[in-house]
Amino acid sequence: MAPTRESRRTVFRQIAQRSSIDWPMYESSPLFDRSSLPTLESDVRLVAETWFQHDDHEAVEPFVHAMPLAYVQFDPHDRYTGSTSYEMETLFRLFLLKECHGWDHETALVEYLCQHPDLCEQIGLNSVPDQSTLWRSWHQRFTTELQDTVETAARTILIKAQNAGVTVPRDPERQTRRHGDENTEPDPDDQTILNQAETVTERVSDVAFPAFSLDRGEGCEIHENAYWDLQTYLGLRENLAVNEGARSFIHESNRERTPLGHAHREHIRDLSIKQIREMYCQAVSRLLDRVADTEQFFRAGIVAIDITESDPFTGDRAGHEDEIIGTKEKTDEYAYQWATVQLVGNAVPIVLDARPVRKGDTRKEIVEDLLDSAEAAVHVDNVLMDREFDSQHILEMLSQRGLSYVVPKRMQTSEKAQAKRLLKRNKDRYETDRKLHLGDNEWHSTTLIYRRKENSEHTDHRQYSVFMTNRKSGLLPEYGYRWEIESGYKSIKRFMAATTSKHFGLRFFYFAFACLLYSIWRAVDLLVQVQLTGEYEHSPIVTADNTLTLVKKKTGIG
């Protein structure tokens, strides 16, 4: 069915009801002005995603002439100075149409327009331009940056349409054609990587950071971005506390006014845990939108849930016993604990959500909470957890959600006995079905997989590990992906500001902000790899320090 006035109204009403920082993006900061091409690309992404979700929108071409462009100032990207027959907005739509169809030459576009007069009228063409006019417009009138935006926007439109089940004129490439043949080129050198990283970091950080707000009201002399600038600065230094960091930041920042340490802490303390999580999830959502057009992102589907802890707390925890709780190891030490859900496997390892762990929080509550966030952000198929989540009620909840899982099982008497039998028979692997009691004569069916560890230091039954899964042994190799969340924690803690404060909200904010910096780093690395090589390898080619330095430079915009 063709788009109707009512269907268009429905789409743009949905967009209008979103947060003002989501669309149009040029309102977020002065960087996103009406001539900003990153803004235009982002708006195309948002409108296309909403547009193709409507049942009446079953083709790509109506979107090309329906996409709002009246607000875009094309003048800075127009290399012609004299009078012209065709407006830049009209030409932009024409080349967007050409790119969506994948036509290599302007002649195909001219022929198509001649055959579809209704389309010409909708786009605003009084006459069809000839081939030479279109060639000159693309090669001599459009800047290289505007050409890149046309290609990026067309690819986004095709991907969003295809994801919604709409038939597309051609299969979308997952990277720009400008880099499609670079696999035969030598590996990019350090300066090329750094230059590309700076461009990407500028876009990514300006997408993520506007999601954070201190709600300080109007008329403040110190710009809010200065606070995020300072927080990022703290993450650049090992064990740097805010008071010392604020004093150093005065000299290293190019801002006229920067916050003092105590003012920074006070504003962060005013944020509730709920506010911090909402802002974090919004920032990650914007980050995911930025990487969503790459093939690598569409490998997403496996998430790992885990709990990490801060360094052991050695002070007086009186009055904070519910927040500074025991460590996961059976010791007499105490520590703050944080839980996260993170993409793992072939996907870029972005931390989708984080939450604090308090005394009394059950593992099932934690898993449900984090999965709600994860499934709202990405498509989830499989969940990986470690043995502290060995609970039949958690496993049943995952199955009820239609999710697969792999979880190590703590070896009880029956598992130890089975492992001893396997050792005696010299068997490396064994599978058996098991029903776990849920109570009230209800059971959860799972599969136990015994696997012998290679080069184990033990000579008894401890050579074996036992895993539980609801998808047989095919998922077991994926459990190896869970190590990524542990290595991620090491980097995240490297990005945290130091503090001796017992304020729970402040502690959690420092951890959440470090998770965001880590996620930005990994997103930047993915985009740089794809743009330079057309491929993505998990071993980063962009260092964390380089990314954070570039982020620090860009967060001061405002």
Residue range 233-255: average pLDDT?
A: 72
Show the tokens assigned to 534. 């057309």
Distance, CA of 61 to CA of 120 (rounded, Å): 11
What pLDDT does 195 receive? 63
| DSSP result, 47-91 | HHHHHTTSTT---SHHHHHHS--TT---GGGB---S--SS-HHHH
SS3 string, 147-206, reads HHHHHHHHHHHHHHHHHCCCCCCCCCCCCCHHHCCHHHCCCCCHHHHHHHHHHHHHHHHH
Q: Residue 430's beta-bridge partner residues?
A: 450
Name 28's Cβ contacts closer than 8 Å, sequence gap at least 6: 21, 206, 210
Say which residue, 136 or 480, is predicted with more confidence. 136
pLDDT of residue 385: 93
Amino acid at 494: R
Place of tokens 């967060």: 555
Query: Tens digits of per-residue pLDDT, 53-108?
Result: 888 888 899 999 889 888 888 988 998 877 788 899 999 999 999 999 999 889 99
Tokens representing 246?
Answer: 């604020």
Nearest to 47 by CA among 70, 72, 16: 16
**Given this model, what pLDDT does residue 24 score?**
47
pLDDT-derived band at 23 (thresholds 50, 70, 90) equals very low
Helix 504-533, helix 190-208: angle, nearest 10: 130
Judge whether 399 and 470 are in contact, CB under 8 Å.
Answer: yes
Q: Is the dihedral of CA 210, 524, 383, 403 positive or negative?
A: positive
Supply the mean pLDDT for the chain. Answer: 81
The b-or-e profile of 211-231 (16+ CB within 10 A means b, else e) is bbebeeeeeeebbbbbbbbbb
Is the distance from CB of 451 to CB of 465 less than 8 angstroms? yes
**How is residue 386 annotated by DSSP?**
-
CA-to-CA distance for 403 and 380, rounded, in angstroms?
A: 7
pLDDT for res 252: 67
Greater confidence (173 vs 44) lies with 44
Q: So what's the pLDDT on residue 185? A: 43
pLDDT digits (tens, 9 = 90+) for 158-193: 888 887 778 888 877 644 444 333 343 444 555 666
Residues 324 and 334: beta-carbon distance below 8 Å: yes
- The gap from C-alpha 389 to its chain's centroid, in whole angstroms, comes to 25
Q: Is residue 204 predicted with pLDDT exceeding 60?
A: no
